[in-house]
Structure 1
């Protein structure tokens, strides 16, 4: 084993939603690779570099912290109003604020869905915490929301006041959208000079057949009747904001991405945020290109690889930016046929579902064990110099031979 023959592997996955964080995925794979890196018959040492990633959804704060940002804890209103312990990430210039750890689905008490009564208020409170640090920019990570309130709760936390036809104050919930009669729009001087960035690849408008209630409402527990009520409520929100002097409200509601996170995307745009590709933005923010440079092999992945991945989700962005290197993907399940691997482009896809008949998607221990097993397989292939040919050549025979030994 010499320095000349040593290989460096960059492990850069997204989370496996419902099972493991991106950092846990990376650690499990690294454990497996390291367990065989110096074993008998190995012609090379293997060094693992870990870079947990996110695409602007849940897990974004954790990914930023893993990349060197400082975690700042704060207590905010959870999706049902009960206090929850949340966190933001800050590096002295950029703050990352996340819907999932402030008012996300995973914070609903006992997992009971609240499609009409969940609120985005906690996200607005976390934004206020970020603003107190005087950042140059705030990255708004919108994935995993429990609410469909059009960002009404978030705006309330930031000082907007919503009232019904009797002049009574309205809390920011999906149920109350239809009751809005007037809005007092508060200027937010703290935002002066602060760039707001929505890092997301969601392109849905606020309402309508492709809007937040119709597309994302069912996963939050919304019935057909709820979806219709929320859609009308969001229309009422837009009209009330327009009457209050925000003349761009209707235009912003139709903008791609306004439907992100139950309409929080719309509210963010109302505050002047601009949307960028979540995957590429976070790869830049976490310095992927620099971290990739000395590496021979890149391993990426996420909970599911399918047709949506081809549309530009994180594994596709990682593969595209990995240059002439071997790129492997690890996933909970793969719905992408082998002949489509090169479209991403990937040398190989490893799916946990191919190694067990059990459902690993809600089982962190099983997922970690399977990832360590796959890591050993990958490590054996790399360490014996039976590695995939560099990035774009797509030699299928590479790591295939080690797969049979574990089946």
Structure 2
């Protein structure tokens, strides 16, 4: 009689966010899965991997939706400084996912040169128009990574709003142009009123003020202290003009949590009647995380940095909260949380790339992927 122990079979759900500056969520999942699978077949058992690249409403949201089964559709739009860029949306026949990052994001600035006063959100409006042409029931707008602080003026221009200066000249949406607005004319776009608009974002800043878009995010986009002041005053003027144009709640919406997301694009979306939801939780629902985790024994999640912001509701925290009693492993570029605080995220273990190299992997995709494969093999070995 053979009393040998039967080989183990472990089912894993690999559900990471991107490693910003290095790897997309899909690339992170692929590298971890390759490492996990390499631990199989040694006679001790097999690790089965289901991959679910995630996003929280920032850059990478379209990629995550495509990885889960949505179809990618390409469309050429105006980039943050007017140059043509190839953008894409994700569409499943009912829901369209559009994002700021691949239309008018920081990464699309020519030569990486910041344009804090001149960058525009027009391309985001153009990709929304393209999505509307597909007649979706809803459009999910992912707002992370914008290069502009124009209050969504550029986006609204693409959607049929005409902004004119004191001489009656048409203005191209930008932070600089906000202060020049003297009149606003809006053309009805029936498709907008027939489509549910959802803003997926975990940014809680108002449009302006000490915690507003210019003050908090402007410096990240190259804005000097003088630029921050000018942009804040320009947005105040914008609110006044939108009120005069018939938006009775323009001032109240500027104070709304999330109005300051993506340089104020969040504000323009609220003006259009969009509903704001938690980006992390919305995308977990959209990508059917709950069903997928129910079919696995262990969940592996992660992002570029595990830190205090993670505790405040970023994607790995949302994944951990929904994973129930099963073990949860996090993989990150670095972790600023000491081991005694892992329990605050219900994490069984945290692996970091920094533990495996003395080099900076944050801008090195090849090194990051190689390290993730090593970590994946270590995880797989520990499971079998």
TM-score by length of 1: 0.92
Provide the aligned C-alpha RMSD in A.
Answer: 1.2
Matched, 1:184 2:160: no
> Whole-Å Cα distance in 2 between the matches of residues 276 and 186 of structure 1?
27
Q: What residue in structure 2 maps to residue 20 of structure 1?
A: 23
In structure 2, the residue matched to 1:273 is 274
Residue 87 of structure 1 aligns to a residue whose secondary structure is: strand
Partner Cα distance (1:234, 1:357) in 2: 45
CA shift digits 1:106-157 (9 cap, x unpaired): 1111111111111000000000000001100000000000000000000000
Q: Which position in structure 2 is the counterpart of 1:143?
A: 144
Contact kept? 1:73, 1:88, Cα under 8 Å: yes
Partner of 2:10: 7
Moved more, 224-233 or 347-356: 347-356
Question: 1:131-280 to 2 correspondence within 5 Å?
Answer: 131-280=132-281
> How far apart are the structure 1 equivalents of 2:5 and 2:221?
54
Query: Which segments of 5 or more consecutive residues in structure 2 lack a partner in the other structure?
Result: none
Structure 2 counterpart SS, 1:25: helix
How far does the alpha carbon of each residue in 1:262-310 deviate from its partner, in whole angstroms, 9 at most, with x for none? 0000000000001001101000000001111110110000111110111
1:383-398 matches, cutoff 5 A:
383=384
CA distance in 2, matches of 1:10, 1:162: 49
| Distance in structure 2 (CA, Å) of the matches to 1:44 and 1:186 | 63
Q: How does 1:33-112 map to 2 (within 5 A)?
A: 33-39=36-42, 42-112=43-113
CA gap 1:294/1:81 in 2 versus in 1, 3 angstroms: same
Match of 1:375 in 2: 376
2:328 maps to 327
In the alignment, the residues of structure 1 paired with residue 313 and residue 5 of structure 2 have an alpha-carbon distance, to the nearest angstrom, of 38
Corresponding residue SS for 1:179: coil
1:367 aligned counterpart, secondary structure = helix
Contact 1:306 1:336 in 2 (8 A): yes
The equivalent of 2:359 in structure 1 is 358
- Any idea what SS the aligned residue of 2:303 has? strand
Q: How far apart, CA to CA, are the structure 2 residues paired with 1:85 and 1:46?
A: 38
Give me the whole-angstrom Cα distance separating, in 2, the residues matched to 1:289 and 1:241.
Answer: 41
User: 1:2–1:44: 8 Å Cα contact kept in structure 2?
Assistant: no
Distance in 2, Cα, partners of 1:36 & 1:347: 20
Q: Structure 1 167/335 Cα, relative in aligned 2: closer, same or farther at 3 Å?
A: same
Distance in structure 2 (CA, Å) of the matches to 1:252 and 1:311:
24
User: Which piece of structure 1 moves more, 188-197 or 127-136?
Assistant: 188-197
Gaps of 5+ in 1: 384-407
Q: Kindly tell me the number of residue pairs found equivalent between the two proteins.
A: 381
CA distance 1:378–1:122, change in 2 (3 Å)? same
Distance in 2 between residues matched to 1:174 and 1:337, nearest whole Å? 41
User: Displacement, 1:3?
Assistant: 8.7
Determine if contact 1:2/1:45 at 8 Å carries over to the other structure: no
Provide TM-score, normalisation by structure 2: 0.98
Q: CA deviation at 1:4?
A: 7.8
CA spacing shift, 1:212–1:354, aligned 2, 3 Å: same
- What is the CA-CA distance between 1:2 and the residue it aligns to? 9.4
Question: What do the CA deviations read for 1:140-199 (whole angstroms, capped 9, x no partner)?
Answer: 000000000000000000010111112111110011111111111222211122110001
Partner deviation per Cα, 1:22-51 (whole Å, 9 max, x = no partner): 000000000111111112xx5321101000
Partner residue, 2:33: 30
Between 30-39 and 207-216, the greater mean CA deviation after superposition: 30-39
Write the distance in 2 (CA, Å) between the matches of 1:69 and 1:37: 31
2:31–2:376: 8 Å Cα contact kept in structure 1? yes
1:182-226: CA deviation from partner (whole Å, max 9, x where unpaired): 111222211122110001110000000000001011110011000
The match for 2:342 is 341
Report if the CA contact (8 A) 1:60-1:96 is conserved: yes
Counterparts of 1:310 and 1:345 in 2: how far apart (Å)? 11
